[in-house]
A and B are shown apart, each in its own frame.
Chain A
Amino acid sequence: MSVETTAPVTEGQVTQDQITGEAVLAEISGMLRVLLDEYGLDDVEITMATKFHEDLELESIDLVSLSADLKERYGNQVNFAEFIAGFDLEEIIAMTVGQLVDHVVVSLREAARG
């Protein structure tokens, strides 16, 4: 099966195979680029290893915005608040994009499984 990685991963009938790390990374990168654009940073490479604070210079308040974006995009299928409840502030600051992508993938697959 071919997987269209740029298409929204939750649109229409989604099978578990379509929910890939690449697709979710592409979506989350898009959200981050909008955030970074506010700071005039529009040319940053975003990978699974990118750190929110260290590499993107995002503050905790930016992660609040990202969380709102995730909720808008994925609805109740992804619960960012619950995900971060187990982290302290230092850990949230040290988080990588990959950790978030993995969480979203697992959550969407669980939702697709019903």
Chain B
Amino acid sequence: MTKILAGDLDTHVQRLPPTIPVDGEAPVVVFIHGLLTDSLASYYFTLGPAFAAAGVDVVMYDLRGHGKSGRPATGYQLERFVSDLVSLLDAMDITRPVHLVGNSFGGSIAFGLAAAHPERVATVIAIEAEPPVQAWTVRMAEGLDLAKSQLTQDAVIDWIAVNNGKHTARLSRAAGRLLQVTSMLEDIPVSDTIADDLSAIRCPVLAIFGADSGLSRQVPYFESYLASCRTVVLPDQGHSVLIERTDETRDAILGWVRDHALGRVG
């Protein structure tokens, strides 16, 4: 297992170099997973290998508190996740702008990095994600409160086991524990935010939504305010776009990276 000390965080990283010859430098795509029940496995078993096979330099990592990365008790504001990623890129000597694929909360980190360090980011690909504006902090506070109150109850975990399977139940219990042993619930709602006009995001953005997820309501907002934006809305689909619509997600992002890469991507 590859662990890299990024800043002060022991970070679990899986890098898949391109498996085909590439003209010039391969584009670097960094995959950022979501909160609580998620880890880099969600990419490792979906998009990662396909991107490497298409000529992309793939970087997947576990966020602080998640998977096999370190789990400090405190320090879970969005800007900490952003600075972790900057430290990781530095530690891996990746200095050219990268494409950031962020799923759910991972997308908020991608937007946060694009706003704070525009020179490090070529494009943002946001899957079912929100930019870290003020209203986002309120929704996150509500969601995390609900998660903590629910996922720490045995009855709820038992219900999840019956209705969603044992695997989801086990992940849910682990998520409840994560909220109990860290200050994530307190930290995320007081994260640094960007202005509602999204003027801080200057790079091109590809935003992918499930039509039935509440987040797809952001499409007109993104298209009005973001300087350069393409949106894709998958019909009959909720929040689990990455897992349930892997092929369409892969094709949309590979096409996007091809369009925005200097090197040829197969």
Which residues does A use to contact B, with CB under 8 Å? 53-54, 57, 59-61, 63-65, 67-69, 81-82, 84-85, 87-89, 92-93
Is B163 an interface residue when CB atoms closer than 8 A count as contact? Answer: no
Contact A65:B68 (CB < 8 A) given known A89-B243, A93-B167:
yes
Given contacts A61-B41, A68-B2, A54 and B14 within 8 Å (CB-CB):
no
Please measure, in the bound complex, the distance between the C-alpha atom of A67 and the C-alpha atom of B12, giving whole angstroms.
Answer: 14
| Residues of chain B contacted by A69 (CB below 8 angstroms) | 1
Contact partners of B246 in chain A: CB under 8 A: 88
Which stretch in B43-51, B95-103, B187-195 binds the other chain?
Answer: B43-51
Q: Mask for B174-199, Cβ within 8 A of A = 1, else 0?
A: 00000000000000000000000000
B170 surroundings in chain A (CB, below 8 A): 57, 59
A-B CB contacts (within 8 Å), total count: 52
Q: Which of B1, B42, B166, B171 contacts A68 (CB 8 A)?
A: B1
16 pairs of residues in contact across A and B, judged by CB atoms under 8 Å: A60-B44, A61-B39, A61-B62, A61-B68, A63-B41, A64-B14, A64-B39, A64-B67, A68-B1, A81-B16, A81-B52, A82-B49, A84-B45, A85-B49, A89-B45, A92-B45
How far, in angstroms, from A64 to B1 measured CA to CA in the complex?
Answer: 8
- Tell whether B40 is near chain A: CB-to-CB under 8 Å: yes
Residues of B within 8 A of A61 (CB): 39-41, 62, 67-68
B38-73: which residues lie under 8 A (CB-CB) from chain A? 39-42, 44-46, 48-50, 52, 62, 67-68
Count class of interface residues, chain B: 20 to 34
Chain B residues with CB below 8 A from A57, complex form: 170
Q: Do residues A81 and B167 form an inter-chain contact, with CB atoms below 8 A?
A: no
Give A39 Cβ to nearest chain B Cβ, in Å: 12
**CB of A48, distance to nearest CB on chain B (Å):** 21
Contact (A81, B243) CB under 8 Å given A57-B170, A59-B170, A64-B14: no
Q: Is the CB of B39 within 8 A of A81?
A: no
User: Contacts of B14 on A, CB cut-off 8 Å?
Assistant: 64, 68
Chain B residues near A88: list those with CB within 8 A: 246
Per the bound structure, the CA–CA distance linking A85 and B166 in Å amounts to 23
Question: In the complex, A13 Cα to B44 Cα: how many Å?
Answer: 33
A81 touches B49 (CB 8 A): yes
Q: Name which residue of chain A comes closest to B44, CB basis.
A: A64
Q: Contact string, B191-214, partner A, CB cutoff 8 A, digits 1/0?
A: 000000000000000000000000
